[in-house]
Structure 1
């Protein structure tokens, strides 16, 4: 799996969204930092099978930054409820690098 950035269009009138973040593979000690519009929202988050929920504004630019790789890569799933496509995104975040999610309002 290659790291990817995504654009996410939100339903009309949505001003904020929860960000659900979880480890879709093995709970092996992966750690990430979540940034919104360049500012740290949550630092050194251990990702687990149980999702971590954060709130992000719409529109915004969300970055998931790889901090620590437990074993075999930092693998995670992320979902933004209120998105038109209502889908989960499965990604990998190399240590020291980020995946970007462009959250767009209507």
Structure 2
């Protein structure tokens, strides 16, 4: 009976470690995609002038859709959506 409990416990621990590893890998891949999308946004807006900051609306963004804004050094603000590499933007009117 002791061997069965030990084997069951080892199996459960192994399954837990496997699940945690899979989740970590998926999270890492998601962060990598977001970083790549953010780099695309920076390159896109660099043609319009010097960038002061880029912000992301995390609540409205997913791994394939990035929503946020870019503040330029001259004070202009652009709102953007990056949907799988296709960037749509508009200048914020004050």
- Name which one, 1 or 2, has greater alpha-carbon Rg: 2
* Structure of greater relative contact order (alpha carbons < 8 Å, 6+ residues apart): 1
Q: Choose between structure 1 and 2: higher strand proportion.
A: 1
* TM-score, length-scaled by structure 2: 0.30
